[in-house]
Amino acid sequence: MSNTATALTSTETYSLLSLSLACIGVLSQTFVGGDGEPVVASIAFSGLAFASCYALIRWLGNAFIRRGFKGKDLCKLKQTEIPETMGAVCAMVYLFTIIAFIPWPFYKDIVIATSGGGNRDVMQDIGELETGRLLHKFPHNKLASYLSAILSLQSIVLLGIGDDLFDIRWRHKVLIPAVAAIPMLIVYFVDFGVTKMVVPIPLRPYLGELFDLGWLYYVYMAMLSIFSSNSINILAGINGIEVAQSLVIAVLIVFNDVLYLSPFAPYPHPATDSHLFSLYLLLPFIGVSLALLKHNWYPAKVFVGDTYCYFAGMVFAVDGILGHFSKTLMLLLIPQAFNFVYSAPQLFHLVPCPRHRLPRFNVRTGLMECSRVEFKKPLRRPIAESLKMLHRLRLLDVQVDGEGQVISSSNFTIINLWLVWFGPMREDRLALGLLAFQTAVGMVGLLIRHRMALLVFSVDNW
């Protein structure tokens, strides 16, 4: 029944072992320099996360299948059952990595706060010990925001696993990321509470320099979490696309973060800390996602499950909110936003929506073709006309019968649109095309963000 290979080949074992040993070596050296070198440590942790995630995905495959986490790949000739919900493994490894990493970014502060050398010998007073009070100069607010990020990510994983287990209804699961964002929002409320936005210059005569969004700021943050998580969840369905698009976004954010660090920006720069924070969250994410992609890329040996999409989206949302670059994040999610807007007519049932909208696998050619929705009942006139217009704009493939009635159209997803544009192609080429698009749009987005910011704000915080 189950033909999932669970053992690592000896090449894999040796590669993963050497990688892990190298990372542990690097990690043990990070304290020698004296300041904990958190970025180096984060890279080493990410390597370890990659290795453990890679091995665990392989080892746990059969256990997942046995417990009913399994599915068939509809876009293959031979439809074997492969493990589902492997994103949960990935997310667990990620969570324990960022938890284990906590001491590094704070190492410098620990040493300074305790009179050097890491020996905590400042507090000797028995009274203070008995009451459990210890007040030293320590960046507790940085720690609290890091912890709240982990809490929100753990919450989304718990809820995502719940969804993968019990198949929560569509209209409920849309809200899952908002629930998971609560820890972050509450800590934000308690600990920072900055709900003011810098107003773009053209609007300053009306709103002043700063505009207090008040509770709307919390709504904005919750919406961003919902959007980020769900938009990745609906741009899905072919091998590797969920993980690979997340990787592209993560790498672009890392690229943007690095622009704020030396030697690219003067040090210390006011935004350095925020972008370091962002790096610490993203590097291990890239590690575990690469391990998952290796198994999920065409032809997929495992599926990722909703857990992964929620989790990835939440990593971005948390990162953007607590790293204070949520507007930049939205620029990187433009393809997802486009896919959402483009899908809206089907999602909101203006046009019939079949249960599955993934592209169709042509058994004869082995290629993916765009899937179509047939309109049994004639469409209402304005809708039919809009579809014909979209067809003329090359944004849809519409079939019309002799009387000018729209009888079918391609499904409203960016994946199908890609196939409309470029014709049938193999699943991996389809994924690669979409990823190239994602990368290109993201690069342009970042360029615009850094070149144009000065036109609408008085200072670019670059």
Residues found near a copy of itself in the complex (CB under 8 A): 60, 63, 67-68, 92, 95-96, 99-100, 102-103, 106, 110, 114, 120, 123-124, 126, 129-135, 138, 140-141, 143-144, 147-148, 150-151, 154-155, 157-158, 161-162, 165-166, 179, 182-183, 186-187, 189-196, 198, 209-210, 270-271, 274, 324, 459, 461
Cβ closest to a copy of itself, residue 181 vs residue 425: 181
- Give SS3 for 86: coil
Cβ closest to a copy of itself, residue 104 vs residue 361: 104
Cβ closest to a copy of itself, residue 422 vs residue 457: 457
| Shortest Cβ 109–a copy of itself spacing (Å) | 8
Cβ closest to a copy of itself, residue 314 vs residue 351: 314
| Shortest Cβ 38–a copy of itself spacing (Å) | 12
| Shortest Cβ 248–a copy of itself spacing (Å) | 26
Tell me the CA distances in angstroms from 369 to 323, 342, 388, 413, 419, one per residue in order: 41, 19, 21, 13, 6
- Give SS3 for 173: helix
Cβ closest to a copy of itself, residue 191 vs residue 374: 191
| Shortest Cβ 30–a copy of itself spacing (Å) | 15
Q: Helix 334-347 and helix 427-456: axis angle, to 10°?
A: 110
**Residue pointed to by tokens 């007040």:** 135
Per-residue burial over 211-227, b if 16 or more Cβ lie within 10 Å, else e, is beeeeebbeebbebbbb
Angle at 372 between CA 164 and CA 172, to 5 degrees: 30
Cβ closest to a copy of itself, residue 44 vs residue 244: 44
Question: Alpha carbon 103 to chain centroid distance?
Answer: 24
Length of the chain: 462
| Shortest Cβ 161–a copy of itself spacing (Å) | 7
> Shortest CA distance to 312 belongs to which of 298, 296, 300?
296
**CB-based contact 156:150 (threshold 8 Å):** no
| Shortest Cβ 396–a copy of itself spacing (Å) | 39
**Residue pointed to by tokens 């040996």:** 301
| Shortest Cβ 183–a copy of itself spacing (Å) | 5
Cβ closest to a copy of itself, residue 95 vs residue 435: 95
Tell me the CA distances in angstroms from 462 to 49, 202, 261, 266, one per residue in order: 31, 21, 10, 10
Tell me the CA distances in angstroms from 368 to 298, 302, 394, one per residue in order: 13, 20, 19
